[in-house]
Chains A and B, each alone.
Chain A
Amino acid sequence: MPVGLSVGGALGDPSPSRPFRPSRYVPVSAATAFLVGSTTLFLCFTCPWLSERISSIIPLYNGVVFLFTLANFCMATFMDPGIFPRAEEDEDKEDDFRAPLYKTVDVRGIQVRMKWCSTCRFYRPPRCSHCSVCDNCVEEFDHHCPWVNNCIGRRNYRYFFLFLFSLTIHIMNVFGFSLLYILHHTKQLDQVNAGVTMAVMCVAGLFFVPVAGLTGFHVVLVARGRTTNEQVTGKFRGGVNPFTHGCLKNIGYVLCSSQAPRYLGRLRKPRSLQVQPPFLRPPLSEAQLAAKVLDNGIQQSKSSLEIMESQSTDADPPPPPKPEHRYPGLPHTQNEECSLLNETPPTPSLYKYRPAYSSPGKNHTASTHSSKMSRGNSMTESPSVPVTTGQPSYLSDPSLSSRGGAGCRGGGEGGRAGSGGLGGASAFGGRSYPSFTDTLLQSAAASCSSSLRSAQTAHNALGPLISEGTTSTSYKSLANQTRNGSLSYESLLTPSESPEFESAAHELSPPRPHPPNSLSTVPGPPHILGYTSPFLSAQQREGSLQACPAPLRPSPNRAFLRPTSSPPSRAPPLSPRARSLGSPPPGPAPGHTPLGKSLSYGGGAELQHRPSTSGGGTPMPNSTFKQNVANHHAHSHKPAGGVKKVTGVGGTTYEISV
C-alpha cells in the first residue's frame, strides 16, 4: 500500500501507552478552527460580492489556495515524521555496556556526535533527535509543532513548509480581498456581511505576522540546509554545516525528493527461509591457518571443558581472532593459563582494551570461556547455560547479576530477578541466545526512569564530582539503567566512576574508550579489577577473577560499598547474597564517590589519560589514589566480621562480608 499516512507516535511500536493529554490538542484545534472557520466565513460572506463585482475567478482561486493549505496542514499533522522504531534488545548488545554516551562519526570531514538514546536504545543518527512530547526519535528532527500536534521531521517537513508558505499566501489573499470588500462598503459597515468581513480581516491580520515570520525563518533554514533544531541549538554557529549541499540542492532536497518511507507500521513478511546446516564455510586464508596453528595447542586442552563446539562437522576449534585484535604477544586465552598457575600474573592484555566491536575470535573463544565459567558459576538451573556467544556473553552476566537485582535502583529487582535473568536468556540446546524480555526492561525502566533521565540529562544529579565534561563523557549505561545486570555491578561501584572512566577514555580519544596501555603500569591486579571489571565483558571478568588472588579481590568493593557485595556475582551462591545486600546505594550517592573514585582509579595511571575537560569535577592526584588503594589493600587483609568464603570455579575463593 503506497499510502504512508500514520499518526505520529500513535502506532504501538514506538511509544506504547502514552497518557491522553487533552491539553495537547488545544493548539491544533484552535488552528484548525481559525483556518477553516475564517475561510468559510470569507467564502460565504465576502466572496459572493467579489465574484459578482470583480471576477468569479476570485473565489475559485481562494478555494484552491485554501484547499492546498488544508491538504498540507493535514499531511503535516497526520504523517509520520520519520519515527525510528525502538531498537530491539539484541541490537545494543554489541556495544560494551560501558560504551560511551556519544559516538563520533565523520560526516563529510566534520566530526558529528551521535548520542545514545536510552529510550530508543540506539545511537541517534546524525540530525536525529528524540522528541520528548512524542517520546520518539525522529529522523532529521526539525521541531515539535504544537499547531499540528506532531513532530516535523524528514518525512513531513516538506508538507509543513508548504503549509506555512500556502498559509501565508492564503492569509494575504483573505486579508487583501476582505480589505477590497470593506473599501467598497464603507457606507454599509453595519451590514452583517461587512461585519463578518471585518472580523475575518482582523483574524487574518493578527495571524499574518507570526505566520509570515515563521515562513521567512523556514525559507532561510531550507536555503541553508539546516533544521530548526540545529538552528536553535546553535550547532553550526560559526562552524560548517556538513549537511548542506548548496542553496539550490537544499531546496531541491526539501521539495523534490521522493517521499521517504515510514519505518513504523510496516507489514513484516514472515521469514520463510529456513537455515539448515550443514553450512558452507569459506576457505581459510594463509594468515588464518597460521593463527590457527598457534592457537590449536591451547584450545585443544580446553576442549573438554567446553560445553559446546561451534560446529559439528568442523573439527577445528573456533577460528582465532584476527591478529590485530589481540594484544601482541599475548594470546587470548592467557587468563585461563594464569588461573591454572594460580599466581598473580602480569596484568593480562585482555584488560587493557574493551572489545571495540564484536570480533569472531573473541566471540568464539570468549564464548567458550564464558560457557566454561558460567557452567561452574552460574545458574545451574539450566544446563545449557544461557551464556551466549562472544559479545553477547557479557550479557549473561547481567542476567546473572540482574538476578542479584542491583541493576536498577529503586527496587523491583526481586520480582524480576528470577524471571528476568533466566527467562531472558532463552536456552537452546547448545548455544543460547539471550534476549531480554520486554517486561524486564520495562519494569526496570519504570522503576529507574527517574534515575535514568537524571543520570543522562542532569549530570548535576551525580554530584559535584561530575564535571561539565561528563555530558559528553557519561556512559550510556548511566543513561540506560535498564540495560543489564552488569550495570548492577557498576552501580555498586557508584556511577561517579563512570564519568571518571569516561573522561579517561573520552570521545576525543579513540572512539572506543578502552583502558589504555597505561594500565600495565598499575601495580597489582586488584586495582584493575575494581577499575576494569565493569568494563570487561563477561569472559574477561571471569578470567580476571580467576587470575587474581581471591582475598584481594573483594576488598576494593567492600571498602566502599555499603552494603558490600561481591564482584563475582556470577557465582550462584553469590548472587542471592548480592541481591540481598545489593540494592545499591540509593541513587548515585555522591557520598560514595570519593572512595569509589579512588578505587576506580586505583589504576592511577588512568588519570594521565583523562583530558583536561573533565578536570572540572574529578580532580584527584595520582598519589591520593595510590594511597587510597594502599589503604584498601590494608583493609583487604583483615577479614571483616561475618565474612563468608565461597569457592568458585577453579578453586578460587571469594570473601564476602555478610
Chain B
Amino acid sequence: MATEFHNLQELRHSASLANKVFIQRDYTDGTICKFQTKFPSELDSRIERTLFEDTVKTLNNYYAEAEKIGGQSYLEGCLACLTVYLIFLCIETRYEKVLKKISRYIQEQNEKIYAPRGLLITDPLERGMRVIEISVYEDRGSSGSSSGSSTTSSSGR
C-alpha cells in the first residue's frame, strides 16, 4: 500500500522512455546523407505524418547542402592545401557549419513539435549519421499506479 502511494506521488508528472524508433538512411541516391521519409508506424498515434515528413525532408536538405561540391568547398580545399592544413585550426569547414545549423534545427523542432508530443529526436551525428533516433516517451503518471496495483496482484499470486 505504502509502495503504491509512493509510486503514485513520485511518478505523477514524469515520462518514461518507452521505445526508440530509428529512421534509417535512404541509399537510393548513393552514399549521400539522406534519410528515409517513410513514416514509421510506431509514430502513427504520436505525431502527424506531415510534421514528421517535413522534419526529415528539411534534414535531408541540410545534409545535401553540407555535402554539396561547389565553389565554397573547392576554395576551402585549396586554402587548406596552401596553408598545409593549418587552416583547419582556425576556421570551421562548410560541413561543420551546416552541422551546427542542423543541431539548432533539431533542437528547435524538439522544443516546438516533438517534446509536446512525447517524442525526442536525437541528432543523427551521434549515431554516425546512420539513423535518426526518435525516442518515444510514455506518460508514467497512470502507469505508476497500475504498476503499484500489479505489485499487489503479483505478490498475491
Contacts and interface: CB of A to CB of B under 8 A. Distances in A.
Interface of A: 2-5, 67-68, 71, 75, 84-85, 87-88, 90-91, 93-94, 105-108, 112, 122, 125-127, 139-140, 162, 242-243, 245, 249, 252-253, 255-261, 263, 266, 268-269, 271, 273-282, 284, 288, 306-313, 318-319, 321-322, 325, 357-361, 363, 375-376, 380, 383-385, 389-392, 428-433
Given A107-B30, A274-B115, A308-B143, A383 B126 contact: no
Main secondary structure of the interface of A (DSSP, over half): loop
A3 B88 contact: yes
Rank and list the top 10 A-B pairs by shortest CB-CB distance, nearest first.
A430-B143, A312-B142, A279-B118, A383-B151, A277-B139, A428-B16, A84-B128, A308-B143, A429-B144, A359-B41
B13 to A, nearest CB: 7
B93 A259 contact: yes
Contacts of A311: 138-139, 142
A268 B123 CA distance: 10
Contacts of B141: 277, 312
Contact of B90 (A2, A269, A278, A280): A2
Contacts of A268: 126
A275 B120 contact: yes
A279 B130 CA distance: 28
A257 B157 contact: no
Contacts of B139: 277-279, 310-313
Contacts of B57: none
15 contacts: A2-B92, A2-B93, A71-B84, A71-B85, A87-B130, A91-B127, A94-B20, A105-B27, A253-B69, A257-B67, A268-B126, A280-B116, A313-B139, A390-B19, A429-B147
A277 B22 CA distance: 22
Given A91-B127, A288-B44, A391 B19 contact: yes
B117 A266 contact: no
Interface string B122-137: 0001111111010001
Given A85-B128, A274-B115, A430-B143, A243 B93 contact: no
Given A384-B147, A429-B16, 15 more contacts: A108-B29, A139-B128, A259-B95, A261-B96, A271-B120, A273-B111, A275-B120, A277-B118, A277-B137, A277-B140, A281-B46, A281-B117, A311-B138, A325-B41, A430-B144
Nearest to A108: B30
Nearest to B138: A431
Count class of interface residues, chain B = 35 or more
A85 B41 CA distance: 27
A200 B73 CA distance: 38
A360 B91 CA distance: 45
B60 interface: no
Nearest to B142: A312
B31 A140 contact: yes
B25 A125 contact: yes
B138 A358 contact: no
A191 B67 CA distance: 56
Contact of A429 (B76, B77, B90, B143): B143
Contact of A360 (B45, B48, B127): B45
Contacts of A106: 27-28
Contact of B94 (A125, A126, A245, A258): A258
A308 B146 contact: yes
B125 A310 contact: no
Contacts of A88: 127
A280 B46 CA distance: 8
B154 A380 contact: yes
Contacts of B37: none
A2 B96 contact: yes
Contacts of A127: 31
A418 B26 CA distance: 40
